[in-house]
Structure 1
Amino acid sequence: MDIMIMVASYPPTINSAARLYSELSESLRDMGHNVTVITTQPGEDSKVDKEHEYYKSGSPKKNNGLNILRVSPLSFLSKIPGGKPLRFFFSCLLFTFRGLFTKCPDVILIYSPPLYMGISAHIISYLKKTRFVFNLQDIHPKVLFDTGAVKNRFLIRILSKMEKICYRNAHSFIVYSPGNRDYLLKQGVKQKIFTIPNWFDTKLISPSYQMNPFLNEKGIRNRFIVSYIGSMGTPQGLEIIINAANLLTMYDDIKFILAGEGPSKPILKSMINGMKLNNIVLLPMMLNERYAQFINAANVSLITLSSGVPIQTVPGKLSEIMACGKPLIAVVKEQGDAAAIIKQAECGFCVEPTNAKELSQIVLKLYRGKKLRKEIGKKAMIFAKQNFSRTICTKKYDEVLKNAGGNSDFYYDEAS
């Protein structure tokens, strides 16, 4: 089957969307499909892997049997006043034209956000007489409104209208959590909705019981490590970690280590310097084997979401942390989907996004409870292997795409 995939980020860009969809593309290729990926060139505002094949082979169109087509990221538009809406609009046009002048696929799969992917896919599928599957990863534009990223009423109306057009014209939907599924149902979506969690790569992410080189390099082998890895922006609300670390300065062997990039990183640095904290360290984002080493170096891992983020959001690194058998502390809303997974797996604790004191108390509880850490870490690993493996999840994508492309009568049995 010929599959067109549209995603804004793809390696060598480093983020969760790029990782997920590069792995998905490769898995679909291995299942016998012809896969074309339409994505952006690495932008100057993106974190990239300089060792990637992209830089060694001059942006090859063919990559491991995949057809990779790239458009400009239009990064320069974000630097001018009013440029972000222009970047959104022209990016939509670029993806649309790239798709229209590409071989007609049996089915199109899009990753959203950005929301304009849905508009591009709708136009392409309408003109080429094919279907598209909408993979909703973050609820845009709702999350933009809730976090205050978009306040202009005109833009809110435009984005809300675009959202309705996307939802009305998709053949089917893939979401990663029950909360996202419920959101679509409340929006009046009548099409099939499939709940498929985001996965981890079993070849890269697994518990490691060997000597961890990361610990030696950073001189923290005999410390109790509380770690965070990922984006550092407003939606993550990482300030609570700094405040919790400030409450634990009397414990010399507790070390908070945060790795990642994002607009909040300078703010976090300023907070650390202002409080004169020496029990917390900020590091760059880790890649590939280093990423796995970083997670495995921790005694306890953190995931965080600010109070303005919709309760349906589940951080992608949740499954990877669980796969490494690490106890979790989730700074999330108690009624959210991330909290529900942790409660179901019995693999950690949840803290409200504004309660730094409670976060510090739970860190101490796990610091003092070696047996407790081992028990809930084991539960995390078992749950991840049973529910979040790449093989299981990508096979479900395959079945959904086959159905949308008219090549299968099979329906994954968690459809609405």
Structure 2
Amino acid sequence: PYYPYWKIQEPYRKNRFWFKKEVKNYDSNGKLSVIRCPMYVPSRPSGLKRIILDTTFTISAFLAIIPLLFQRKHDWVISVAPSFQFGLLGVLYKKLKGAKHWHHIQDLQIEAAQDLGIINSHKLLSILYGIEKTIFKNTDTISSISNGMIDRIKRKAKMPLLLFPNWTDTSNFYPMENKSKLKKQFGFTNSDWVVLYSGAIGEKQGLEAILQAAKTLKHRNAIQFVICGTGPYKENLKILAKEMELANLHFMPLQPKDQFNAFLNMADLHLVIQKEKASDLVMPSKLTTILAVGGHALVTANKTSSLYQLLKTFK
């Protein structure tokens, strides 16, 4: 595991250059085997470095799959994108073992890279779309997390898709009382009105809008903005915030798992922000977590996007 810190985390770091197998046994006498695969993890990710990361993982996972080809056949093989090329591993197992292949898509990775200008090479994009087409042709079931994403995939895959959205575990995320105590716990006062963005910090989020809002509300001392998380774009935002002299904007690291529910409960307003070009390429899973803690959310969404339709339907 490396996300969201962009480095291999403990206790896996010492084995990061080789495969590691973990087996979990259950009371039902069943067991789950997990094979950890070595891969390249860039400390400062870019479009090219992410392609290298995904490619190295695909190669090492391919090596891990080889022994499975000589063991008993499984009825189904499931591949999860991103990265989209992981679907090739599912295709391989399907072809050689005769299993059915389920490909689940969390992000439309190629379109996002193209629309946001991360990949501009027409030749490279053509190769990537060609690989994706091969995966679709050799898949029995395709699923995704929003109706908008399903519509876009369906136009390429030319087959029915399943809606399989993300959810939130309400045993881990739930409303808490005494907001003033929670604010003090994270360095704010009871009189502060905290506006929080917590999540990935990348180009597709369009987080410059938070800086502009903080600039506009500089004179309102009680309103404090917080950007929490990690990502390749965080340093850019820090530099921009320093240039804009935003004393009312705070950057905080990703919170520990045992503190995260309290941290989310501390906020008075949660931000769910997307760039217009990325509106139907991803579905922000943070929204269900915000609602689980009883938070108020301010959402930016294109009227044609799945996110907008979801909010309109269940407002």
State the TM-score, normalizing by the size of structure 1. 0.67
Task: Give the equivalent residue in structure 1 for 2:206.
Answer: 237
Distance 1:251 1:83 in 2: 41
Task: Give the equivalent residue in structure 2 for 1:208.
Answer: 176
Unmatched segments (≥5 aa) in structure 2: 26-30
Task: Give the equivalent residue in structure 2 for 1:128.
Answer: 97
**Is residue 168–residue 189 contact of structure 1 (8 Å, CA) maintained in 2?**
no
Residue among 271, 276, 282 paired with 1:307: 276
Name the amino acid aligned to 1:331: T
Task: Give the equivalent residue in structure 2 for 1:137.
Answer: 106
The alpha-carbon deviation at position 267 of structure 1 amounts to 1.4
State the SS of the aligned residue for 2:109: coil
The alpha-carbon deviation at position 110 of structure 1 amounts to 1.5
**Is residue 121–residue 132 contact of structure 1 (8 Å, CA) maintained in 2?**
yes
Name the amino acid aligned to 1:68: V
The alpha-carbon deviation at position 254 of structure 1 amounts to 0.7
Q: How does 1:1-400 map to 2 (within 5 A)?
A: 12-15=1-4, 45-46=6-7, 48=9, 50=10, 61-63=22-24, 65-75=31-41, 85-102=51-68, 103=71, 104-190=73-159, 192-210=160-178, 214-217=182-185, 218-346=187-315
How many residues were matched structurally?
303
**Is residue 236–residue 306 contact of structure 1 (8 Å, CA) maintained in 2?**
yes
**Is residue 238–residue 304 contact of structure 1 (8 Å, CA) maintained in 2?**
yes
State the SS of the aligned residue for 1:61: strand
Unmatched segments (≥5 aa) in structure 1: 1-11, 16-43, 347-416
| Structure-2 change in CA distance of 1:57 and 1:201 (3 Å) | farther
The alpha-carbon deviation at position 188 of structure 1 amounts to 4.1
**Is residue 199–residue 228 contact of structure 2 (8 Å, CA) maintained in 1?**
yes
The alpha-carbon deviation at position 262 of structure 1 amounts to 0.9
Task: Give the equivalent residue in structure 1 for 2:28.
Answer: none
**Is residue 313–residue 338 contact of structure 1 (8 Å, CA) maintained in 2?**
no
State the SS of the aligned residue for 1:301: strand
The alpha-carbon deviation at position 138 of structure 1 amounts to 0.8
Per-residue deviation, residues 137-175 of structure 1 (Å, max 9, x unmatched): 111311111111111121111001011111111110121
**Is residue 232–residue 264 contact of structure 1 (8 Å, CA) maintained in 2?**
yes
**Is residue 313–residue 337 contact of structure 1 (8 Å, CA) maintained in 2?**
no
| Structure-2 change in CA distance of 1:148 and 1:57 (3 Å) | closer
Distance 2:163 2:42 in 1: 37
**Is residue 93–residue 120 contact of structure 1 (8 Å, CA) maintained in 2?**
no
Name the amino acid aligned to 2:292: A
Per-residue deviation, residues 295-333 of structure 1 (Å, max 9, x unmatched): 111111001112331424211111101111111111232
State the SS of the aligned residue for 1:228: strand
**Is residue 77–residue 87 contact of structure 1 (8 Å, CA) maintained in 2?**
no
Name the amino acid aligned to 2:176: S
